[in-house]
Amino acid sequence: MVEAVKGVRDILPDEIRAWHFVEERARDTFERYGFREIRTPIFESTELFARGIGEGTDIVAKEMYTFPDRKGRSLTLRPENTAPVARAYIEHQMHRRSEVERLYYLGPMFRYERPQKGRMRQFYQIGVEVLGSDHPAIDAETLEMLVAFLGRLGIAPVQLVLNSVGDPECRPAYKEILRRYLLPRRESLCEDCRRRLDTNPLRCFDCKVPADRDVMAQAPAILDHLCDACRGHFERVREHLDAFGIAYTIDRRLVRGLDYYRRTAFEVTAPGLGAQNALLGGGRYDGLIEELGGPAVPGFGFAVGEDRLVMSLPATAAIPDDAPEVFVVGLGEAGVSAALQAARRLRGSGHRTLVEPLPGKSLKAQLRRANDLRARFVLILGEEEIQRGVMTLKRMSDGSQATVRLDELDRRLGEMARA
């Protein structure tokens, strides 16, 4: 038997209702704020991620699924979607149509990581990007929208954690301060952090090795080394969040795992996700569009793993039921034909209706099947009903039933549903 490869999984019909619930809430919430959906290809030129994410990041160095096509061009399954959205924004000159573009996406991403709870090698992200404004209000309103989205899912409590990672004016000097702190401690660092020290020492804050985390806990904080512009931007973001009444904490050592972030960086954490309790993250990336060959357009966004959102849904989440409203039983071949016509009429009236053409099965067996499916009603068409030109409508909750004609079926179904 051929099985799914390690790190990927099937999302089965019994699970998919929760995924639809999350996606429908995402679309509805984001569109209330003026966001529009964008869909980018699943694979892109490898150069896009090397330039956009940063060659020194773990994603580019160790986690990407990269392969040559038949002409030898290097392609990569997208490990994240901000760089592809930025590429599409530039390629289609979207900045010419709108000064501020608000975009959202849903879809699969791919990273070669050790599979763990809520983190697979093929995983699904929901994300938003706001392109065209560097105003602190953009950061705050997008975070307010995020909190509203999580609230509509019933995910609580969550904690919003903020930091500023500076910009090209102040971050280079801070990197040197951090590098000078780490160099005397280099030999005590893990292999990855020794490499990060040479490429981008900020990445050392991402390390999960306990000894390295102790070292980084005593490291100089970038908040103490921001330029006036970055400090002012961060203060204004906080003021807007305070005005929204949104609670947050400051983590002076929070960084994001991608090189394109500037100024505001954030995470949302939630209990119940194990050691890796980060539910989502994001921030500002004002230099990305320009780095990829586009105009100097600022950006802000976030991405959340849909797998982890589904895992975090409370038991009380209002996930729609996928049980059929009406299960139509056709006894014998004539009954199956009549059942198909009745089901067609019900579906045309908007009723979720299921027919399973099994004429050899007894009525009792088919009623058991309807009960297993949690159908609210059963419509029975046997030999006697067909001869009389009627059908039997049975309510499963109490066993009450009525004899109805086809032309009155929809009305009688409504009456019994309301009773």
Q: Are strands 66-68 and 74-77 parallel, antiparallel or unpaired?
A: antiparallel
Q: Which DSSP symbol is given to 93? A: T
Domains of the chain: 13-170+226-312 (3.30.930.10), 326-414 (3.40.50.800)
Task: Give the C-alpha separation, 306 to 174, whole Å.
Answer: 35
pLDDT at 160: 94
| Contact present, 270 and 313 (Cβ < 8 Å) | no
Q: 3-state class of 232 per DSSP?
A: helix
Find where tokens 């079926």 sit: 409
pLDDT at 359: 74
Task: Give the C-alpha separation, 80 to 405, whole Å.
Answer: 56
The alpha-carbon radius of gyration of the chain (Å, integer) is 28
Task: Give the C-alpha separation, 53 to 199, whole Å.
Answer: 13
Alpha-helical regions (H) of 271-376: 288-291, 306-312, 332-348, 363-372
**Closest C-alpha to 129, from 200, 226, 52, 21:** 52
DSSP track, 157-225: S-EEEEEE---TTTHHHHHHHHHHHHGGGGGGS-HHHHHHHHH-GGGGGG---HHHHHHHHTSPPGGGG
**Closest C-alpha to 88, from 56, 132, 48, 40:** 40
pLDDT at 107: 95
User: What is the full per-residue pLDDT of the chain (419 aa) written as tens digits?
Assistant: 988 888 889 989 989 999 999 999 999 999 999 999 999 999 999 999 887 666 556 566 678 889 999 999 999 999 999 999 999 999 999 988 888 999 999 999 999 878 777 678 899 999 999 999 999 999 999 999 999 999 999 987 889 999 998 988 888 898 888 888 888 888 888 888 888 888 788 888 878 888 888 888 888 888 888 999 999 999 999 999 999 999 999 988 887 656 678 899 999 987 665 556 778 899 999 888 988 999 999 999 999 999 989 988 998 888 888 899 999 999 888 889 999 999 999 999 899 999 988 877 889 999 999 999 999 999 999 888 888 989 999 999 999 999 999 888 888 888 888 87
| Contact present, 41 and 34 (Cβ < 8 Å) | no
Find where tokens 């999984």 sit: 9
Task: Give the C-alpha separation, 343 to 220, whole Å.
Answer: 69
pLDDT at 56: 54
- The token duo for 47 is 């150069």
| Contact present, 188 and 348 (Cβ < 8 Å) | no
Q: Give the global pTM.
A: 0.86
pLDDT at 43: 95
